[in-house]
Chains A and B, each alone.
Chain A
Amino acid sequence: MKKLHELIAPVALVVGTALLGLVVSSALQTYFLDTLIKVAIVVALYVFIGNSGVLSFGHISFVALGVWTAGVLTVPAAERAAIMPGLAGFLRTATVGNVPSLLLAAVAGLVFAFIAGLPLMRLSGLAAGIATFGVLEIVNNVLRYYDKIGPGLNAFSSVPETTGIWQAAIGALVCVVVAFAYQRSRFGRQLRATREDPAAASAAGISIYRQRLLAFAVSGALAGLAGGLYVHLLPVEIDSLYLDVTFITLAMLVVGGSGSLLGAVVGALAIGGLDSFLSASENGVDLLGWHLNLPTGTAELTVGVLMAVILIVRPSGITGGRELSLGWMRR
């Protein structure tokens, strides 16, 4: 594959974050794990939004679906009745291991995104934004209240906590590599062509609908995988995967630059790091012998300001939608 060197920078960033996460204290490591999962989610978002230029508010529902799939299938069967008393049918007994649950989470995301995309990918612009928002609302609403299929408003407790730094890093790397392979493939290039000039792309024989649908399904699979990683990290309340997470992950993508894979990774790491630091500061941290205790809400406030400023001043984000190319080395 040509231009493979463009993969170096995003992979190096993820590996670097993981290595840094290995050496810090276990209290701090939680933030690194959380940020690595955010990288996976933002890269999933990027596969669709970045390549197609169409906005989606619905991807967090794919993450929620991944959380649900991996969560419901890995809670030990003995404890299932206590945590999810309303569970029906095969969900009461079916149990899978760690890796299969992650794969199934990705499959769930893929299938659901494909089915949802079948009608929705015919829309574009604002209508697509509102319709994907509708998907988020519906999935959130159903998973929140329908206790025959899951814990409803309760957390997914007792899920084996297998997402350590290795699993988080490998998951994020899988997302990065899949995203890169997709974007360099002919499908990815075709979709990027429709983003730049839909009329010309159609005239050249590209089906905008099919390309968008494919990207939607791929990004749904990655989002589902991210959800699987997330539920193996901590007991997730599915209700929490709603507007706040949608906002922060979109902010990460926009701030980093939605036009490039590097932008997605940089945005997730930058905002993830900032957000982790500020959230920690809300509980009080000691920094270089200086006690910092910020009021609750500072993290959201800072991220909100940052995102608004970036949108106004530099709408193409920190990276300006470019990959870091090593072309200068050969010159």
Chain B
Amino acid sequence: MSVSWQTLADALSLGGIYALMAVGIGLVFGVLRLVNFAYGQLIMAGAYAIAYASVWGWPSWAGILLCFAVVLVLSMLMDRVVFRPLRTQSPAVMLVATFAIAFLMQSIAVLAFGQLGTVASSMGPLNQPWDVGGVEIRKIAIVSVVVAAVCLGLLQLLLTRTSVGLHMRAASMDFRTARMLGVRANRVIGGAVLISGLLAAVSAVMLTARNPQVTPIFALDDTIIVLAGVVLGGLTRPIPATLGGFTIGFASGLLGGALPTNQSQYLPTFLFAAVILVLLVRPNGLFARAGTGAERL
């Protein structure tokens, strides 16, 4: 097994993107106790926005802007139409509901854009290699690591230094008590959904640059792996979720790049075996604080 610098950089950037997605899923889980299966389809919608903008000949910044608009509108819509009426239901019902929304969005994409997909050529320049000290590295690898770091830094500031962030953290610890102490449910949930949507849009841009072929199942596999990563890290708090997402992205990027295909094709088996193992031993996740009331029989 040999690891080139390119593989390492790619693994780092995949880790960065997965960390963003993980924290996006984790934030909503924190306030709603809802695992959003449809997160990948939000990203898919954003990717289609970029692809169609480039087909229409828009400049790439306009495509990115459209991507943000589409993803944000869709995630607010999802909150209003689906999450809000289901807020009082059990987590299992909400999980099935987001599962349904995921398939709904996917079939809309098949109906509207066809099975074959569209190419987002405007992101092409980001895929060009860059010469860093004699080593060729794709620009997107560096850009996504930097963007992920900046986003996570900003998010950390928001969560620790602002009152909205304080409310969000309080709500994810104990929603009922937080409400009694004057945290407004709709505002906190709206905020979390909004931020999670922003992160989905950023991930959509990065993933489209990595892989410009946008199909109805774009980001589906990524979301499944990220879900595993989030559970692995710990769902309830942003930092463990981020770490989990990064670890699984980095690991799958590294192993996927370094192992021969006849071994790396079994990667999902090992990832999910690890997830099941972690769930059994530490149901709250690897990086979570011990002793925070786990549900076990």
Contacts and interface: CB of A to CB of B under 8 A. Distances in A.
Instruction: Say whether A and B bind each other.
Output: yes
Contacts of B35: 126, 129-130
B266 interface: yes
Contacts of A295: 111
Contacts of A53: 92
B248 to A, nearest CB: 13
B82 A301 contact: no
B107 A297 contact: yes
Nearest to B112: A297
A304 B110 contact: no
Interface stretch (A20-28, A31-39, A77-85, A247-255): A247-255
Nearest to B261: A145
Interface stretch (B3-11, B15-23, B42-50, B267-275): B267-275
A308 B100 contact: yes
A312 interface: yes
A138 interface: yes
B231 interface: yes
A257 to B, nearest CB: 13
A212 B297 CA distance: 11
Contacts of B93: 311, 315
B283 A123 contact: yes
A161 to B, nearest CB: 29
A26 B271 CA distance: 45
Interface in B220-273: 220, 224, 227-228, 231, 235, 265-266, 268-269, 271-273
Interface stretch (B55-63, B83-91, B141-149, B155-163): B83-91
Interface residues of B, number: 45
Nearest to A244: B103
A141 B266 contact: yes
Given A126-B91, A127-B295, A311-B100, A296 B265 contact: no
A42 interface: no
B275 A126 contact: no
Interface in A37-60: 53-55
Interface residues of A, number: 47
A312 B85 contact: yes
A131 B231 CA distance: 10
Given A131-B276, A307-B100, A311-B100, A124 B297 contact: yes
A142 B35 CA distance: 26
Best-buried of B35, B93, B276, B295 by chain A (most CB within 10 Å): B276
A118 to B, nearest CB: 10
A125 B82 CA distance: 20
B266 A126 contact: no
B275 A131 contact: yes
A320 to B, nearest CB: 15
A188 B110 CA distance: 42
Contacts of A266: none
Interface in A296-322: 296-301, 303-305, 307-308, 311-312, 315
Contact of B269 (A137, A307, A312): A137
Interface string A238-273: 000001100100110010000000000000000000
A142 B269 contact: yes
Contacts of B279: 123, 127, 130-131, 134
A251 B93 CA distance: 11
B280 interface: yes
Contacts of B288: none
A189 interface: no
- Which of the listed residues A119, A121, A208, A308 has the most CB atoms from chain B within 10 Å of its own CB? A308
Interface string A134-154: 110110011001000000000
A296 B110 contact: yes
Given A120-B276, A209-B297, A304-B104, 15 more contacts: A122-B296, A123-B297, A126-B33, A126-B95, A129-B35, A129-B92, A134-B228, A134-B279, A141-B272, A142-B266, A247-B100, A250-B99, A298-B111, A304-B100, A311-B100
The 5 closest A-B pairs by CB, nearest first: A304-B104, A300-B107, A297-B110, A134-B272, A297-B111
